């Protein structure tokens, strides 16, 4: 048997919500990064699901773009995190508030 598309979409929504809430409640920068990845992959899952449901390969193609962009983003983001850790010896996001108005 195969599950209907709604299950996949529901899973994607749950994963996205976990990511979003995690991003808001956690203080560690690396964990926040992982949460972002969760949200991205939730989005990917949605794309793939819709591609299957609508028989449109375009949705699957977009996923590859998202993967590539996410990889690049991780490179840059981790670079910033490492540099920041060297300068300030912290990975707690709330300590990085020098842009406070």
Partner 1 sequence: MVNVAYLMLLLPLAGFLFLVAFGRRIGDPVAGWVGTVAVGGAFVVACIVLAGLIHLPGDHRVVVHNYFTWFSSGGLSVPVGTLVDPLSMTMCMFVTGVSALIHLYSIGYMKGDRDYSKFFIYLNLFVFSMLLLVLGDNLLLTFVGWEGVGVCSYWLVAFWFQRESAASAGKKAFIYNRIGDAGFLLAIFLIFEKTGTLQYESGPGGGIFGQPVHLGGGTATAAVLLLFLAATGKSAQIPLFNWLPDAMEGPTPVSALIHAATMVTAGVYLLCRMNPLLHLTTPGMEVIASIGAVTAFVAATIACAQQDIKKVLAFSTVSQIGYMVLAVGTGAYIAAIFLMVMHAFFKGLLFLGAGSVIHGLEDEQDLKRMGALRRYMKWTTVTFTIGFLAIAGIPPLSGFWAKGDVLDNVFAHYKVLWVIGLVTAVLTAYYMSRLEVLAFGGEPRFDKPGPRGEPALHAPHESPWVMRLPLVVLAFFAFFGGVLDLPWVHTHNLESWLTPVFSGTLYNDNLSATSEWALALTDITAALIGVIVAVWLWRGSEVDKPALEPAFLQRVWYWDDFYDTIIGRPSQRLATFFAWVVDVRVIDGAVNGSAHLAKATGTAARKLQTGYARNYALGIAIGMALIIAFMLSRTWWG
Residues making contact with partner 1 (CB under 8 A): 20, 23-25, 27, 32, 93-94, 96-101
Angle at 88 between CA 87 and CA 94, to 5 degrees: 135
**In the complex, least distance from residue 80 CB atom to partner 1, rounded to whole angstroms:** 12
Q: Answer yes or no: are the C-beta atoms of 44 and 66 closer than 8 Å.
A: yes
**In the complex, least distance from residue 27 CB atom to partner 1, rounded to whole angstroms:** 8
- Paired with 92 in beta bridges are 28
**In the complex, least distance from residue 2 CB atom to partner 1, rounded to whole angstroms:** 28
Angle at 70 between CA 25 and CA 72, to 5 degrees: 120
Q: What stretch of H or E contains 100?
A: none
Cβ distance to partner 1 smaller for residue 29 or 63? 29
Cβ distance to partner 1 smaller for residue 3 or 24? 24
Cβ distance to partner 1 smaller for residue 4 or 28? 28
Q: What is the DSSP letter of 67?
A: H
**In the complex, least distance from residue 16 CB atom to partner 1, rounded to whole angstroms:** 10
């Amino acid at each position: 048997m195969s599950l209907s598309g709604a299950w996949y979409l529901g899973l994607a929504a749950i994963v996205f919500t976990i990511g979003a809430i995690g991003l808001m409640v956690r203080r560690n920068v690396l964990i926040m990064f992982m949460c972002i990845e969760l949200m991205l992959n939730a989005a990917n899952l949605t794309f793939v699901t819709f591609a299957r449901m609508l028989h449109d390969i375009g949705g699957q193609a977009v996923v590859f773009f998202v993967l590539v962009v996410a990889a690049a983003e991780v490179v840059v983001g981790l670079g910033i995190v490492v540099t920041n850790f060297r300068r300030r010896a912290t990975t707690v996001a709330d300590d990085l508030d020098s842009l406070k108005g």
